[in-house]
Amino acid sequence: MITVTTNNSAKNTAKNSAEAGGDVRLCGISKTYGSFTAVRPLDLTVPQGSFFALLGASGCGKTTTLRMIAGLEEPSSGTVFLGDQDVTNLPPYRRPVNTVFQSYALFPHLDIFENVAFGLRRRGIKSVKKQVGEMLDLVQLGEQARKKPHQLSGGQQQRVAVARALINTPKVLLLDEPLGALDLKLRRQMQLELKRIQTEVGITFIHVTHDQEEAMTMADTVAVMNGGRVEQLGAPADLYENPQTTFVANFLGTSNLIEAEVDARSGDEIVLRAGGGKLVLPEARCSAPTTTGGKVLVGVRPEKISLTHADEAGEIPAGRNRITGTIADSSFIGVSTQYVIDSPVCPEFEVYAQNIDRDPRLVPGAEVVLHWNPAHTFGLDAAQDIDAGIETVEEEGAAA
């Protein structure tokens, strides 16, 4: 139960500490282990008070980056700033930063109250009751104060870990795959819960995850990492709608990528040739060079595409991008049906159709026309690996 007073008080404590601080700034920080580069020179600013996610596959350098911010790892080059303060040479305990790991590492012999009180008691603070009570209310565990960690669920234990970190009023809370040990349903609940806690306290959260849905659900800003570099940084919707690289296009959701050739320009649109047909791409949505005859990867998300049986192709409005193909596979998943289309321009084109009125003729073997609004098309540099960022089942298992 949260009363207005405790709520405000927790908020104010956090606010005061945040106001004295500022952005987290990484200037050219890198980390090498012998001849192996785990993090390439990285410039990154995390605005004060934001919920920031570092997203990438296992091994891309997320934890190393986080540990350099915490002071648990010494950068091979570069500087870490907290506000105006250069903290690069400060030991972890002198930095206004706390970390929550996947393993909650609670003290098993202490009850929840004492676990949360730990940081205060260590600093010699005797009267802890009010502050611990506020923190427990913040993470909605006020009723569980006298239980031992093993009597709580995984999600509750992780909330204790968050409360235990926040009671130290850090300027920045670092979270390294904190929900990794939880099952899917609990993960979803905890994502919303952590988001609520962050909004309430206003402290900067830097959250590391390999789960793209998790990053998009929670963060204001997501930095997509690949091979020790940040590939792209932005608001979730911006990253999703305007990927700049094939890695981001494939890693964040699913993209259909078509190899095409620049044919002409008309106004602020580029006309491309792909498999005998023409496709139109707004120039502003193309991150590739567009000299005539040059190659561009044309991308479109599966949910932007409509599917029409070839017999009705005449009814498709003019001005839409269209390609033809044959349905290779369809899976009904309730809210939508996911089709895989064999097309001369793209071997496994994916289309997600919302289940409103289902055309019973749209079954494997049917000839179809795929069509979409050209405004939903994006263009990428064709010099990249078209399959970058596509996770195989094996890789996914390793990352989990």
Q: Site residues (CB under 6 A) for ligand ADP? A: 33, 36, 38, 56, 58-64
Q: Which is nearer to Mg ion, 30 or 63 (CB)?
A: 63
Q: List the single partner that 60 binds among ligand ADP, Mg ion, none, CB under 5 to 8 Å by kind.
A: ligand ADP
Q: Which is nearer to Mg ion, 74 or 283 (CB)?
A: 74
Looking up tokens 């609004």 gives 373
- Reported as type and span, the H/E element at residue 226 is strand 221-226
Q: List the single partner that 64 binds among ligand ADP, Mg ion, none, CB under 5 to 8 Å by kind.
A: ligand ADP
In angstroms, what is the minimal distance from the CB of 207 to ligand ADP? 12
Q: Are 239 and 223 in contact (CB under 8 A)?
A: no
Q: List the single partner that 103 binds among ligand ADP, Mg ion, none, CB under 5 to 8 Å by kind.
A: none
Q: Which is nearer to ligand ADP, 62 or 301 (CB)?
A: 62
In angstroms, what is the minimal distance from the CB of 215 to Mg ion? 14
Q: Smallest Cα–Cα separation from 27: which of 71, 78, 77, 66?
A: 78
Residue 378, C-beta contacts closer than 8 angstroms, at least 6 positions apart: 241, 242, 243, 249, 281, 285, 286, 287, 298, 299, 300
In angstroms, what is the minimal distance from the CB of 260 to ligand ADP? 34
Q: Are 258 and 345 in contact (CB under 8 A)?
A: yes
Q: Which is nearer to Mg ion, 63 or 321 (CB)?
A: 63
Can you give the length of the chain in residues? 400
Q: List the single partner that 80 binds among Mg ion, ligand ADP, none, CB under 5 to 8 Å by kind.
A: none
Q: What is the CA radius of gyration of the chain?
A: 25
Three-state DSSP state, 98: strand
Q: List the single partner that 33 binds among Mg ion, ligand ADP, none, CB under 5 to 8 Å by kind.
A: ligand ADP
DSSP 35: T
Q: Which is nearer to ligand ADP, 57 or 351 (CB)?
A: 57
**Phi, psi torsion values for 58, nearest 5 degrees:** -55, 135
Report how far Cα 37 is from the mean position of its chain's Cα atoms: 23
In angstroms, what is the minimal distance from the CB of 53 to Mg ion? 13
Q: Could you give the residue ranges of the DSSP H alpha helices within 41-147?
A: 62-70, 112-122, 129-138
Distance CA 42, CA 233 (A): 12
In angstroms, what is the minimal distance from the CB of 41 to ligand ADP? 15
Q: Which is nearer to ligand ADP, 101 or 240 (CB)?
A: 101
In angstroms, what is the minimal distance from the CB of 38 to ligand ADP? 3
Residue in the shown chain whose Cβ atom is closest to Mg ion = 63
Q: Which is nearer to Mg ion, 137 or 176 (CB)?
A: 176
Q: Which residues contribute to the site for Mg ion (CB under 5 A)?
A: 63
Burial 183-194 (b: 16+ CB within 10 A, else e): eeebbeebbebb
In angstroms, what is the minimal distance from the CB of 75 to Mg ion? 17
Q: Which is nearer to ligand ADP, 62 or 285 (CB)?
A: 62
Q: Which is nearer to ligand ADP, 59 or 253 (CB)?
A: 59
In angstroms, what is the minimal distance from the CB of 197 to Mg ion? 22
Q: Are 208 and 214 in contact (CB under 8 A)?
A: no
Distance CA 161, CA 108 (A): 12
Q: List the single partner that 59 binds among Mg ion, ligand ADP, none, CB under 5 to 8 Å by kind.
A: ligand ADP
Distance CA 302, CA 1 (A): 43
Q: Which is nearer to ligand ADP, 68 or 369 (CB)?
A: 68
Neighbours of 349 (CB within 10 A): 23
In angstroms, what is the minimal distance from the CB of 226 to ligand ADP? 10
Distance CA 189, CA 132 (A): 23
In angstroms, what is the minimal distance from the CB of 176 to Mg ion? 6
DSSP 283: G
Distance CA 182, CA 83 (A): 34
Question: Which residues, in sequence order, are bridge partners of residue 33?
Answer: 36
